[in-house]
Structure formats: structure tokens, C-alpha cells
């Protein structure tokens, strides 16, 4: 039981370390690389990350040369990681060996065994967010159900599932001392909350909550951004609906002026004061109950010269697309 509990709090990252095979198994030079002597077969490496509580979902994205990973858990926790590839730090004996190998490689063009240039995967904890109840910040009433990152506005959509109240002081925190833990009160306990990622990563003192989507009767288990800026959310069995939230309403909730509206019209679109809670989507039921959703874009139109030109002149221009939804043993495509 203890092993299963520890396993539920772990994430395994697999990556390729091309230099490891060169150092660890010289015989690999003859395996599958006989036509290119001196190069080793890359080996698959494993890195384990730990979470304070059982993991329920995760999401990753790239921002420039940086890659981020956020992990949600069963007690309303969000752990933010930064992943990067770095060169290994060699000690004196390793440096001498690497220098000799480099000199030998210069004398033998067929041998290019330079360990010092091999990248290593490093993971750094940035912040641990603990979802708390707005009515009673000393307890949590939410588990993390699913996550979806929207790179256009650097927003993270967090779907929460209501659970029995649990005292936060009695919970497991990150005890390594490597990361700051911050309580984040929200309302309602079960909804889709849109948070500003920059405010989280940069440890801003501003409220990271942009708005909340509260239009489903059951927990939202799938979120899908569309190319036209709209957002699709899919509820659970007790709700059995997929709703489409329009781009203009999402921008208004974020506080960004739309192309058509002024400040007065933007405020009138919202269902509550800032940070607003949106309850009504434009499309009440796109496809019914589903397990997951994926975007299907028009490949030919995306790779045509006309399509590329239109996107360059108008970043908001989009090509036709469809949405594939999984319903038990059926995949339904909605155009």
C-alpha cells in the first residue's frame, strides 16, 4: 500500500541522453551504428519528480527557451516546475578525460566523443499553490480535475472538483524547503478558474485569478481552446454537455478590450464584478457527454501559401477546423 501511495505522488520524465551511451557502454558503437563508427546509441534516461499529494493531472508548455510543467493533485495543490537542459558539471578527473577525448577526436575525425557538450535535464520547483475555500481559507474543498494552458494570453485554466472540507494545516506540504507554498482562495469550489501564469511564476503580489467559468452542473473534465479564440468545456455525467465560451466574453472577463466594444459594453457582458464569474456560454451543448476532446485543423489549408499569408497579415485569421470528442466507444467529429 505504501508503495502504491508513493507511486501516485510521482511523475516519471523520460528523455534521451546521447552521451550516456558513449560513456556507459562502448560496445554500443557496434550496435545499429556500424556505418558511423565512434557514435553511440542514445539511451533513454528517467527522472522522477515528487508531489506532496496524489497526482490527478498535469500540463506543460514552452515559453521561448523555457519549458514549464504544472502538476495538479487530489487536495487542490498546483506545483509549478521549470525544466531546462544544462551541461553537466565535470570534476577535475572528468575534465582531463574529456580534454583527452576532445584531442583524440581532433586527430580522428570519425570519433566525436565530447561528453562536456552533452545536455542534462534539470527540474526546478518554482511555486506550490494550495487551493483554499473563499468562505474559510483554513480549509480546501477542491481537487484538481484537469488543466489546460492558453499560450496566447499566458493563462492556465484549472478545473476543480468539489471534495469534503479538509483542514489545510493537516495536509502534506512540500517539505524540502525548495519552494514557496501559497494559499489561493477561490469560489465556487467546483468550476473552471482562469489564472494568470506570469503572476504565479514571477511571484507577483497581484491576484492571479482572471475569471471563473461556472456553467456546468458536474465537474469539467476536458478543456479545449479553439483557433478562433473560443473555449470549449466538457462536463461530467451529471451534466453531459459541452459548452462553447466566445472569445469576446473571455477577453472581456480578462479585462482586454474587444475589437467591437468599449468599456461599458464589456462590463455588461459579465455576470459578476471583477474577478468575474461567467455562467452562460453561447453554445449550450456542442456534443454531449465526452471523455476528452482534440482539435483537428485543416492541414492543407494550414500549409498553403494563401493560408500563411493571411495569418501574417491578420494574426486572428483562422482556417476551418473540427473537434473530435470521445464518447465511450465512439469518436464523434464536430465541424
* Ordered per-residue pLDDT tens for the chain, 335 residues: 567 778 899 998 888 865 554 444 444 444 444 455 555 667 788 889 999 999 999 999 998 888 999 999 999 999 999 998 776 554 555 544 544 544 444 444 444 444 445 567 888 999 999 999 999 999 999 999 999 999 999 999 999 999 999 998 877 665 556 777 888 899 999 999 999 999 888 877 778 899 999 999 999 999 999 999 999 999 888 888 899 999 999 999 888 755 554 333 334 444 445 688 999 998 878 888 888 899 998 766 555 444 444 444 454 556 788 888 888 888 888 87
pLDDT at 304: 46
H-state helical runs in the chain: 2-8, 18-24, 92-107, 197-201, 247-254, 263-268, 299-302, 305-313
- The residue whose grid cell reads 503580489 is 205
Give the sign of the dihedral formed by CA 264, CA 268, CA 273, CA 278: negative
In total, the chain counts a number of residues equal to: 335
Give the sign of the dihedral formed by CA 192, CA 297, CA 153, CA 273: negative
User: In this structure, is residue 298 part of a structural domain?
Assistant: yes
What is the per-residue pLDDT across 48-71, written as a single tens digit (0 to 9) for each? 999 999 999 999 999 888 899 999
User: In this structure, is residue 267 part of a structural domain?
Assistant: yes
User: In this structure, is residue 27 part of a structural domain?
Assistant: no
Residues 6+ apart with CB under 8 A from 277: 188, 191, 211, 212, 213, 214, 271
b/e burial code for range 169-203 (CB count within 10 A of at least 16 → b): eebeebeeeebeeeebebebbbbbbbbbbebbbee
Distances (CA, A) of 320 to 242, 300, 334: 20, 10, 12
Task: Extract the C-alpha cell encoding 160.
Answer: 476543480
User: In this structure, is residue 155 part of a structural domain?
Assistant: yes
Angstrom distance (rounded) from CA 222 to CA 147: 8
Across the beta sheet with 231-235, the strand order is 220-225, 231-235, 242-245
Residues 6+ apart with CB under 8 A from 63: 151, 154
Q: For residues 235 and 244, is the Cβ–Cβ distance under 8 A?
A: no
b/e burial code for range 49-88 (CB count within 10 A of at least 16 → b): bebbbbbbbbbebeeeeebbbbbbbbbbbbbbbebeeeee
Angstrom distance (rounded) from CA 125 to CA 306: 43
Domain that holds residue 149: 10-15+51-86+120-303+315-334
CATH number at residue 234: 2.130.10
Q: Which of 120, 110, 119 is nearest to 29 (CA)?
A: 110
User: In this structure, is residue 22 part of a structural domain?
Assistant: no
Angstrom distance (rounded) from CA 58 to CA 12: 12
User: In this structure, is residue 107 part of a structural domain?
Assistant: no
User: In this structure, is residue 277 part of a structural domain?
Assistant: yes
Number of structural domains, the chain? Answer: 1
User: In this structure, is residue 21 part of a structural domain?
Assistant: no
pLDDT at 264: 33
- What's the whole-model pTM score? 0.76
pLDDT at 282: 84
Q: Which of 241, 66, 240, 254 is nearest to 156 (CA)?
A: 254
Amino acid at each position: 500500500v505504501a508503495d502504491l501511495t508513493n507511486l501516485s505522488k510521482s511523475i516519471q520524465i523520460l528523455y534521451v541522453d546521447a552521451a550516456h551511451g558513449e560513456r556507459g557502454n562502448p560496445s554500443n558503437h557496434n550496435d545499429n551504428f556500424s556505418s558511423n563508427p565512434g557514435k553511440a546509441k542514445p539511451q533513454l534516461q528517467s527522472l522522477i519528480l515528487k508531489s506532496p499529494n496524489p497526482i490527478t493531472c498535469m500540463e506543460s508548455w514552452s515559453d521561448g527557451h523555457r519549458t514549464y510543467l504544472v502538476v495538479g493533485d487530489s487536495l487542490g495543490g498546483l506545483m509549478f516546475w521549470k525544466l531546462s537542459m544544462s551541461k553537466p558539471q565535470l570534476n577535475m578527473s572528468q575534465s582531463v578525460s574529456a580534454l583527452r577525448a576532445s584531442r583524440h577526436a581532433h586527430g580522428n575525425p570519425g570519433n566525436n566523443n565530447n561528453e562536456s557538450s552533452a545536455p542534462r535535464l534539470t527540474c526546478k520547483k518554482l511555486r506550490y499553490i494550495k487551493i483554499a475555500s473563499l468562505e474559510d481559507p483554513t480549509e480546501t474543498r477542491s481537487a484538481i480535475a484537469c488543466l489546460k494552458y492558453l499560450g496566447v494570453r499566458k493563462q492556465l485554466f484549472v478545473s476543480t472538483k468539489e471534495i469534503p472540507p479538509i483542514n489545510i494545516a493537516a495536509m502534506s506540504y512540500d517539505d524540502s524547503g525548495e519552494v514557496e507554498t501559497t494559499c489561493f482562495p477561490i469560489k465556487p469550489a467546483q468550476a473552471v478558474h482562469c489564472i494568470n501564469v506570469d503572476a504565479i511564476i514571477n511571484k507577483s503580489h497581484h491576484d492571479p485569478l482572471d475569471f471563473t467559468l461556472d456553467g456546468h452542473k458536474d465537474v469539467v473534465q476536458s478543456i479545449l481552446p479553439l483557433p478562433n479564440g473560443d473555449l470549449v468545456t466538457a462536463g461530467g455525467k451529471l451534466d453531459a454537455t459541452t459548452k462553447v465560451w466566445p472569445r469576446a466574453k473571455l477577453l472581456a472577463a480578462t479585462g482586454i478590450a474587444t475589437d467591437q466594444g468599449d468599456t461599458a459594453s464589456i462590463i455588461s457582458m459579465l455576470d459578476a464584478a471583477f474577478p468575474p464569474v461567467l455562467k452562460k456560454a453561447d453554445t449550450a451543448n456542442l456534443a454531449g457527454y465526452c471523455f476528452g476532446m482534440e482539435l483537428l485543423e485543416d492541414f492543407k489549408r494550414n500549409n498553403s501559401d494563401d493560408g500563411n499569408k493571411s495569418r501574417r497579415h491578420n494574426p486572428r485569421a483562422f482556417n476551418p477546423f473540427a473537434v473530435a470528442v470521445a464518447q465511450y466507444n465512439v469518436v464523434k467529429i464536430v465541424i
